[in-house]
Amino acid sequence: MYIYKRFSLLIIFIFLTTSMAWSQRDVPKTLYLKDGSFILGSLVGKSTTEHIWQLTDGTQLRFPNKVVKFVKDQKKDFQYVGRSKKGIIRKTKGYFGRFMVGYFAEKENQSSSPIYAPSINLTVGYQINPRISLGIGTGYDGYSTNGNFQTPPIIPLYLDLTGDIFNNAITPYYKLSAGYGFASPTKDQKLNSNISYKGGLLIHPSVGLKFYTRRNLAWFFDFGYRFQRYNRAFISNPNPERWTLQRTTFRIGIEF
């Protein structure tokens, strides 16, 4: 019986030791470099001079210890999407921010020159998966025209639906924004007490191209079309003028 107990304890010890070793081996790691980048894979060797790192595709690389910052368990909610030696990653789940700048373009007729107005927007939200993210945003949208009455700037407040098309480091994406735009008259427009402005519904579909980086950022640009309703009322006329502003848009930005 004594020998049986010792043998049983030995088997249990070997099983636990082996299980722990395999669990450590199977845990994906992240190698952080001092230049701010990080690489997904696993550590297969380490000496006093270098780290031997295996990428997710099986390629092994050697990094001098002086360029290595530290090694940690792989970041959760990130996906490896690159094939370069320092692979590209992208967030698959979690909170995000998106800053965009661009312009709205309009042509009053075929013979006139395009009219451009600035647009700045900031969106924050939550990435549900690579195909769907939901957010809320605001900003400043200009709507200058050549008419006698200048269209007031609009302060938008919108809900945002965005998603990547492919699981690649460079991927097209779709975007749909819908909400309400608040009219924000300029100082000169406010001096004219005979006119009042009111905002309205906005809808903005767009498509673009996104470029993921090694530092958990993405650069992007998109083309779209903005529909913005607004009213202009005159004291002398009880019936307000209802306008639907339509603008071609181009924007560039960064996602973090």
Reported as a pLDDT band with limits 50, 70 and 90, residue 217 is confident
Region 2-75: CATH code: 2.30.30.100
CA–CA distances in Å: residue 81 to residues 130, 139, 203, 235: 12, 32, 32, 59
At residue 17, the pLDDT reads 54
At residue 7, the pLDDT reads 55
Domain 94-255 has CATH 3.40.1280.10: no
Do the beta carbons of residue 40 and residue 72 sit within 8 Å? no
pTM: 0.68
When computed from its CA atoms, the radius of gyration of the chain, rounded to whole angstroms, is: 28
% of the chain beyond a pLDDT of 70? 78
CA–CA distances in Å: residue 98 to residues 51, 80, 146, 246, 252: 36, 21, 32, 24, 10
Domain boundaries, given as residue ranges, for the chain: 2-75, 94-255
Tens digits of residue pLDDT in 154-207: 999 999 999 999 888 899 999 999 999 999 887 767 777 788 888 999 999 999
At residue 22, the pLDDT reads 41
Region 230-239: mean pLDDT is 82
At residue 21, the pLDDT reads 46
At residue 40, the pLDDT reads 76
